[in-house]
């Protein structure tokens, strides 16, 4: 979508039937949504993300009403991915996720095709209450629907392998008037994809006898015609190869997924690979031997720390993803990386410190056999011994939880691990729900190299906002110049050097450089480093121990990041010596800021399901000054900014990330991942792989997504004729994942939403957080 696209094109229609939407709260008063800076939803304690609260009406079943009311009272992020209509008369959710790619864009872009003609012809389907004004929300059949859900749906990410074209012929969907034409099949070919390393390394093997080689898998050259372009970030800027794309068979077949063939789908033309007897693989031994073989090859060592928990049940997809990560980062590179599990023992009554035998017993029960020997256990009780109190008061303990809970102090075990492992110079912290469609080494290497090459001048200012390439002619250099001009015009001095009083700072430890030079990057994040002070982010004042007042702070949401050894050691010493700590997504960046260390937000490509106008995206995601056009069309703002002059998208307005591929509430990431795997088939998606128009298995370029671990196919809707509530827990951040399926016999439809609960209330109701 062109950056100068008129927002008013989406909101110019007047519906003669409007009325219910303007009085959607049922009391005769108009609802203006919950997104204005003065009308944002107030957050309740213990919620990790604070969005808006669902509003339900016309409940016909008393039991269903009770269940929903309890859940919705607790919930903060309704997190459902698509604007799926909730028909109050049927008590059902409907998911229609991928309309025919060649269909013209409808008058109402957010409208989904109905399952039956009666529903499609209904006068009260979705937009009977008129368009939703820009920046606002309305009730639609009991669900809060936002203005951005009216933007045109993008379909390019669902293109198949039979439509791959050379990169020279590729035009993103947003910039082509006919992105999916012509329909003539192309003849793309496989090419093997090993790790690309700069050093001479000795070959590493999976087994002790050095007979089983590391799997090499294949990729297609080119991109599917009309593949969507990311809204944020850039492959080209990071040096990621946009000229390759990947499907499920070629990507994970080599790592032991035996049932990648999807009934009714495109299962032909697999990349040939040698089957591995995984029972003979011990990854810990393979890593150690590989590292020893190539000792002296690398001047620094990097640990990839996978955060997991002792009761986690590893699916076949978890195992395949972990095999790929270890093989591609540790073995194919000759030991450049070492993968290690940091396992949270959530039951503090288990005495892992009592004896070596007890520790080993719990450790063996915590991981699949092939990964044993490459993990460290930790518990809250242990962290209380490592960082003994008393800690001074917290400015605002919004969550209400204890300081040592993983929810508030997830960085404690990582700090302690770094202090006990001087052999590592850098540490990537990784999460179990992160998925990479391309080669892991390419992603890690390019992000690291890019950050290493960036100038420190104005690094904090550049890193404070998303890079939206459409606004800058796809040039990060243009973006950097724009940031510099803005800083000069503001009269504010750029951030340089320590931002805390030097007399209060500890001595900075020695740090090895990747390049033997002076440019050391201490923190690399994958979301912007924003200033939480004065924002509506719930945890902006979860700051403990700073008795002299609130210190300078920065935060980057989602903890996946790379940290230097010296940064973690400073965090460690600040905690145990000075009793300083903060919320986990704020402490690393804030310590780096206070000590004048080098921090960078790497512009990771992030895709969206809808075609956001770039200027408007800047107003919402970067809190840029609201344009005169947006003001003229009624965008609610405060002192010229949608989130207020010191506000941020990170807070009550995080619902805008639901249609993205990288955020904690990114429902689209989960759907796209399952669709790529061939598991999403409630609306006949698999048939699209073999029909004459759609062209084979989905192909995606190297992309990175945070998804809510929906690797498995969801059960058939017919199995959910009665209300079912299934709870699962994300043990890393103590937020709960809930899938709920509602319906009546013969009418059941399957839906899911991510709702995050106040943990205290959940505990009081007898739900164990595991």
Q: Where are the domains of the chain?
A: 1-151+611-658+723-728, 280-391+411-443, 456-601
Structure tokens at 62: 């008393």
- The pLDDT, as a whole number, for residue 346 is 93
Helix (H, G, I), strand (E, B) or coil at 577: helix
Highest mean pLDDT among 11-15, 110-114, 148-152: 148-152
Q: What confidence tens digit (pLDDT) does each residue in 411-428 have?
A: 999 999 999 999 999 999
Backbone angles phi, psi at 574, to 5 degrees: -60, -35
Q: Which secondary structure element, helix H or strand E, spans residue 377, and what is its range?
A: strand 375-378
Contact 706, 663 (CB under 8 A): yes
- The pLDDT, as a whole number, for residue 393 is 94
525 strand-pairing partners: 561, 601
Cα(299)–Cα(434) distance, integer angstroms: 28
> Could you tell me the pLDDT band of residue 176, with boundaries at 50, 70 and 90?
confident
- The pLDDT, as a whole number, for residue 717 is 29
Q: Which residues contact 650 (CB under 8 A, 6 or more apart)?
A: 530, 532, 535, 537, 555, 557
- Give the residue from 759, 766, 79, 662 showing the smallest Cα distance to 408: 759
Cα(190)–Cα(244) distance, integer angstroms: 10
State whether the Cα torsion 92-97-103-106 is positive or negative: positive
Torsion of Cα atoms, 28 then 32 then 35 then 38, to 10° = -90
> Could you tell me the pLDDT band of residue 109, with boundaries at 50, 70 and 90?
very low
CB atoms within 10 A of CB 28: 6
Cα(302)–Cα(323) distance, integer angstroms: 18
Structure tokens at 83: 């604007």
> Could you tell me the pLDDT band of residue 598, with boundaries at 50, 70 and 90?
very high
Averaged pLDDT, 153-180: 84
Cα(417)–Cα(254) distance, integer angstroms: 32
Q: What 8-state DSSP symbol labels residue 341? A: E
Higher pLDDT, 56 or 592: 592
Cα(553)–Cα(199) distance, integer angstroms: 39
Is the pLDDT assigned to residue 443 strictly greater than 80? yes
Is the pLDDT assigned to residue 272 strictly greater than 60? no
Structure tokens at 472: 């800058």
Which region among 186-200, 487-501, 510-524 has the lowest average model confidence (pLDDT)?
186-200
Contact 91, 64 (CB under 8 A): yes
What is the rounded end-to-end Cα distance, in angstroms, of the chain? 44
Contact 394, 403 (CB under 8 A): yes
Which region among 586-600, 627-641, 675-689 has the lowest average model confidence (pLDDT)?
675-689
Cα(247)–Cα(226) distance, integer angstroms: 17
Contact 700, 684 (CB under 8 A): no
- The pLDDT, as a whole number, for residue 143 is 92
Orientation of helix 565-578 relative to helix 411-420, angle to 10°: 110
- The pLDDT, as a whole number, for residue 480 is 98
Averaged pLDDT, 397-402: 94
Cα(678)–Cα(689) distance, integer angstroms: 9
Q: What confidence tens digit (pLDDT) does each residue in 669-719 have?
A: 988 888 888 775 555 555 555 555 545 555 576 555 565 443 333 333 223
Cα(241)–Cα(221) distance, integer angstroms: 10
pTM value is 0.78
Tell me: cis bond preceding 182? Omega within 30 of 0 counts.
yes
Q: What 8-state DSSP symbol labels residue 375? A: E
- The pLDDT, as a whole number, for residue 450 is 97
Which region among 21-35, 464-478, 670-684, 732-746 has the lowest average model confidence (pLDDT)?
732-746
Higher pLDDT, 657 or 637: 657
Higher pLDDT, 50 or 230: 230
What is the full DSSP assignment across 143-191?
EEEEGGGGSPBP-GGG-BGGGEE-GGG---GGG-SSTT---------EE
Q: What 8-state DSSP symbol labels residue 263? A: T
- The pLDDT, as a whole number, for residue 52 is 31
Structure tokens at 616: 């408007």
Averaged pLDDT, 454-477: 97
Q: Is 104 exposed, middle or buried (0-12, 13-18, 19+ CB in 10 A)?
A: exposed
Is the pLDDT assigned to residue 730 strictly greater than 80? no
CB atoms within 10 A of CB 425: 21
Alpha-carbon separation of residue 639 from 35, 125, 653 (angstroms): 15, 37, 17
Contact 308, 432 (CB under 8 A): yes
Contact 347, 366 (CB under 8 A): no
């Amino acid at each position: 979508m062109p950056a100068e696209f008129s927002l008013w094109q989406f909101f110019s229609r007047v519906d003669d039937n409007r009325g219910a939407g303007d009085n959607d709260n049922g009391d005769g008063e108009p609802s203006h949504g919950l997104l204005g800076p003065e009308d944002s939803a107030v957050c309740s304690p213990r919620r990790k993300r604070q969005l808006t609260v669902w509003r339900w009406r016309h409940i016909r079943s008393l039991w269903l009403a009770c269940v929903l009311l309890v859940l919705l009272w607790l919930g903060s992020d309704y997190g459902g991915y698509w604007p799926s209509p909730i028909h109050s008369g049927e008590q059902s959710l409907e998911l229609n996720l991928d309309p025919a790619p060649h269909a013209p864009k409808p008058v109402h872009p957010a409208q989904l095709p109905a399952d039956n003609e009666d529903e499609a012809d209904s006068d009260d389907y979705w937009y009977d209450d008129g368009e939703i004004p820009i920046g606002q929300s309305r009730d639609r059949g009991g669900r809060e629907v936002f203005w951005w859900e009216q933007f045109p749906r993008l379909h390019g990410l669902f293109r198949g392998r039979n439509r791959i074209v050379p990169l020279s012929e590729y035009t993103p969907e947003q910039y082509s008037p006919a992105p999916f034409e012509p329909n003539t099949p192309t003849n793309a070919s496989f090419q093997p994809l090993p790790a690309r390393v700069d050093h001479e390394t000795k070959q590493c093997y999976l087994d002790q006898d050095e007979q089983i080689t590391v799997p090499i898998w294949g990729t297609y050259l080119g991109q599917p015609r009309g593949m969507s372009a990311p809204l944020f970030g850039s492959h080209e800027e990071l040096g990621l190869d946009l000229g390759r794309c990947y499907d499920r068979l070629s990507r994970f077949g080599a790592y032991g997924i035996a049932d990648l063939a999807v009934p009714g789908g495109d299962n032909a033309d697999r990349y040939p690979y040698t089957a591995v007897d995984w029972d003979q693989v011990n990854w810990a031994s393979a890593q150690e031997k590989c590292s020893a073989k190539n000792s002296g090859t690398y001047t620094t060592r990097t640990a990839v720390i996978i955060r997991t928990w002792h009761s986690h049940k590893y699916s076949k997809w978890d195992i395949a993803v972990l095999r790929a990560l270890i093989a591609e980062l540790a073995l194919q590179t000759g030991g450049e990386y070492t993968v290690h599990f940091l396992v949270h023992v959530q039951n503090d009554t288990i005495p892992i410190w009592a004896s070596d035998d007890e520790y080993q017993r719990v450790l063996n029960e915590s991981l699949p056999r092939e990964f044993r020997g490459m993990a460290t256990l930790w518990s809250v009780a242990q962290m209380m011994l490592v960082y003994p109190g008393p800690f001074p008061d917290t400015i605002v303990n919004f969550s209400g939880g204890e300081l040592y809970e993983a929810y508030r102090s997830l960085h404690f075990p990582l700090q302690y691990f770094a202090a006990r492992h001087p052999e590592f110079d850098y540490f990537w912290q990784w999460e179990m729900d992160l998925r990479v469609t391309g080669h892991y080494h390419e992603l890690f290497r390019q992000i690291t190299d890019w950050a290493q090459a960036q100038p420190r001048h104005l690094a904090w200012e550049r890193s404070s906002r998303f890079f939206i390439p459409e606004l800058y002619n796809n040039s990060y250099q243009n973006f950097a110049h724009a940031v510099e001009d803005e800083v000069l015009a503001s009269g504010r001095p750029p951030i340089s050097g320590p931002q805390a009083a030097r007399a209060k700072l500890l001595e900075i430890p020695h740090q090895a450089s990747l390049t033997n030079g002076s440019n050391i990057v201490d923190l690399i994040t994958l979301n912007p480093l924003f200033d939480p002070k004065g924002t509506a982010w719930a945890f902006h004042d979860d700051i403990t121990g700073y008795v002299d007042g609130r210190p300078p702070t920065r935060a980057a949401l989602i903890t996946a990041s790379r940290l230097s050894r010296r940064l973690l050691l400073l965090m460690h010493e600040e905690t145990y010596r000075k009793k300083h700590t903060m919320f986990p997504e704020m402490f690393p960046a804030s310590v780096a800021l206070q000590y004048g260390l080098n921090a960078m937000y790497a512009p990771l490509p992030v895709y969206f399901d809808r075609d956001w106008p770039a200027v408007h995206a800047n107003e919402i995601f970067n809190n840029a000054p609201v344009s005169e056009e947006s003001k003229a069309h009624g965008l609610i703002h405060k002192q010229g900014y949608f989130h207020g002059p010191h506000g941020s998208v990170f807070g009550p307005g995080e619902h805008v990330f639901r249609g993205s591929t990288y955020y904690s509430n990114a429902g689209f990431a989960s759907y796209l991942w399952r669709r790529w795997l061939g598991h999403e088939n409630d609306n006949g998606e698999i048939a699209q792989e073999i029909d004459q128009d759609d062209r084979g298995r989905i192909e995606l370029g190297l992309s990175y997504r945070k998804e809510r671990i929906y690797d498995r196919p969801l059960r058939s809707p017919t199995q959910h004729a009665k209300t079912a509530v299934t709870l699962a827990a994300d043990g890393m951040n103590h937020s709960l994942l809930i899938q709920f399926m509602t319906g009546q016999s013969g009418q059941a439809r399957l839906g899911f939403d991510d709702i995050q609960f106040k943990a205290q209330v959940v505990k009081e109701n007898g739900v164990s957080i595991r």
